[in-house]
Amino acid sequence: MTNEQLVAQIKAGEDVQKNMEQLYLQVRDYIHSVAMKYRNSGEVEDLEQEGYLALHAAIEKYDPGQGFKFLTYAAYYIRQGMQRYLQVNGSCLRLPVHCQEKIQRYNRFCQSFKMEHGRKPTDTEIAAGLDLILEQVWEIKENARAIHLGSLDAPVMGIESSEDATVGELTGDDTDVEGEVVEQIQDGQLKDTLWGCVDALPDRQPEVIRKRYQQDMTLAEIGKTYGVTAEAVRQTHAKALRELRKPRAAKQLCPFLPGVGIYEGGIDSFNRTWTSSTERAALSMAESMEIEERRREKHMELLDKIRAKVAISQQKGEQHE
């Protein structure tokens, strides 16, 4: 039975399902050949399915009285169905249909121009050939680049033992994971070594340093715990820092400072950078707080002196009256 006879029976409502299956079997090779032309833009099986669905529209509008064979008439609907499918699903970035049609015109013109002249057309030649202005040509070219963006979930073929590998899984990451792990390990070792040196200090020095930098206590608060003045605690604190800068402690901290301290700037530089960036920042902040606290204490002493002078002056004025 010919395609035209099957279409006539389908339109007459005679055993529609069986006749549609037979019609598809007879035009399947043609649908597959059309789908193969678009294989770089979409899955062949999906395109073939769109071609099969397009047969329904072709059957509905087919008129055998025009003298055309059914497959010749249906070819337009089959190609259109596949093209519409690709316009909607063929790219990660979805563009309006009219934009994609402009891209297709642009591609056809560029291909025909290259076949005729042996080179790619310039933007001015494209504008003249498509009756556009340069801004429109630039917009079409930008859309043409965007429509070819790939998906990170797209499978990668030809990778041994990686049947489910995707582009995202095989894309390199700028993050230095190994470096971060090594740095974390070194930071942990540095803290252990640093605070081990602190605990080796004599008298109250370890307690003062830990209270100052680990518990974030002020010199006055530390002094209250020991029943001494803030100035006495400051002296203990300064003495502890001097002890940590001595060679005995410096030798233990040296391995954690590549490119810093005695490796570049000598002992003086190392004495200024004997802690990690974290510990150094904490000590620096604490020392700044200490300086600010001393300034505040001096300011309060000055205010007390001024208040005392004012009080004495007032008393003398009252006595004179």
DSSP 206-231: HHHHHHHHTS---HHHHHHHHT--HH
> How do the pLDDT tens digits run along the chain, 321 residues long?
888 888 888 888 888 888 888 888 899 999 999 888 877 667 888 888 888 988 888 888 888 888 888 889 999 999 888 888 877 776 556 667 677 778 888 988 999 999 999 999 999 999 988 998 989 999 988 887 776 665 555 565 554 544 556 655 666 556 555 556 656 665 676 677 777 888 888 888 888 888 888 788 888 888 888 898 988 888 888 888 888 777 776 667 666 554 443 333 344 443 444 444 545 544 554 455 556 666 667 767 777 777 777 777 767 666 665
- Enter the DSSP assignment of 261: G
Predicted pLDDT of residue 270: 39
Helix (H, G, I), strand (E, B) or coil at 166: strand
Predicted pLDDT of residue 288: 56
Tokens 């030798």 sit on residue: 251
Report the candidate in 176, 200, 288 with the shortest Cα–Cα distance to residue 252.
Answer: 200
Q: How many helices (H) and strands (E) does the chain have?
A: 15, 0
Report the candidate in 157, 189, 190, 160 with the shortest Cα–Cα distance to residue 275.
Answer: 190
Report CA dihedral (229, 230, 231, 237) to the nearest 10 degrees.
120
CA–CA separation, 103 vs 96, rounded Å?
Answer: 11
Give the count of beta carbons closer than 10 Å to the beta carbon of residue 1: 11
